[in-house]
Amino acid sequence: MSELKWKTKDGLEMYARSCAPAEPPRAVVCLVHGLGEHVGRYDHVGEVLTKAGFAMLGFDLRGHGRSEGPRGHTPSYQAIMDDIRIFITQAKDRFDGKPIFLYGHSLGANLVINFTLREKPEIRGVIATGPWLELAFKPPSAQVLLAKVMAGIFPGLTQPNGLDTSALSRVPAVEEAYINDPLVHNKISAKLFLETYQAGLWALEHASEFPIPLLLMHGTADRICSVEASRKFAQSNPEKVEGSFFDGWFHEIHNEADADLVFSRMIEFLNKNI
């Protein structure tokens, strides 16, 4: 495992870490994590990918983990799109132009799906797990209206994100580790909530335009992000999107007891599209 740092367009210092096999990797998987967490929670995923001959490089989103920025806030959704673009450039430079895949979970899946739809990057494919396209519950209209108002008046106002930690995984130790992780936070700003919420709906409307192979995986008992929205996305573009749904699994399918099934699907997808 190695660490690196880089700067965003607006001067924030970002923290990243990578793992790679001893031999030159066959491709690089670029990880974008979920809300409130950090790349360190995916070290076990990196180990699996490394054994299969792939490198994994992930960074802490602005306002998360060891990266700079107000906790749970972004000045705009586009700022994160810009961060991901720089991140991919870092991966290409670090790994001598090896093929690139994007991998995002939850908020991160929202980001990599939108980035691919909007930016049309030169990458081989995308893996999205438990994407925040819609939430598993409908936010009260008053809450959405308030977010719109506050995003215009006080965009950096943060509130607890209301995450039900018991909905992360059916493995109790996962929730316990999450609660006790000093790099995890429960903040989300009005700006980040509103623009992510709107971006998820936009991505659903444009699902048929997704340009490259996408492996979309979701647990059917996810109480955080909507599995039905993922089904709708996959059904809208069967030529490019491979939907894979795990019956009774919770939100973090990579942290369930049978996560090897998820990793096998990932590696199969990578091998097929390299």
pLDDT tens, position by position, 168-209? 999 999 999 999 999 999 999 989 998 999 999 999 999 999
pLDDT at 1 (0 to 100): 84
Range of the domain at 252: 2-273
Total of domains in the chain: 1
pLDDT tens, position by position, 211-251? 999 999 999 999 999 999 999 999 999 999 999 999 999 99
pLDDT tens, position by position, 82-105? 999 999 999 999 999 899 999 999
- Six-digit token pair at 27? 């491709």
SS3 of 111-153: the string is HHHHHHHHHCCCCCEEEEECCCCCECCCCCHHHHHHHHHHHHH
- Six-digit token pair at 169? 């995984």
pLDDT at 139 (0 to 100): 64
Name residue 188's beta-bridge partners.
159
Name residue 47's beta-bridge partners.
none
**Residue 271: pLDDT band by 50, 70, 90 thresholds?**
very high
pLDDT at 146 (0 to 100): 63
pLDDT at 141 (0 to 100): 62
- Using the predicted structure, report yes or no on whether residue 71 has a pLDDT greater than 70: yes
pLDDT at 210 (0 to 100): 98
pLDDT at 60 (0 to 100): 98
Instruction: Identify the CATH number of the domain in which residue 211 sits.
Output: 3.40.50.1820
- Using the predicted structure, report yes or no on whether residue 57 has a pLDDT greater than 70: yes
Say which residues have a Cβ less than 8 Å from residue 230's Cβ, sequence separation at least 6.
130, 131, 133, 216, 218, 243, 245
pLDDT at 154 (0 to 100): 65
Give the span between the Cα atoms of 19 and 203, in whole angstroms: 31
What values do phi and psi take at 24, rounded to 5?
A: -55, 130
Give the span between the Cα atoms of 201 and 45, in whole angstroms: 29
- Six-digit token pair at 53? 């001959």
pLDDT tens, position by position, 6-54? 999 999 999 999 999 999 999 999 999 999 999 999 999 999 999 999 9
pLDDT tens, position by position, 142-173? 566 666 666 566 666 778 888 999 999 999 99
- Six-digit token pair at 57? 């490089």
pLDDT at 190 (0 to 100): 87
pLDDT at 22 (0 to 100): 93
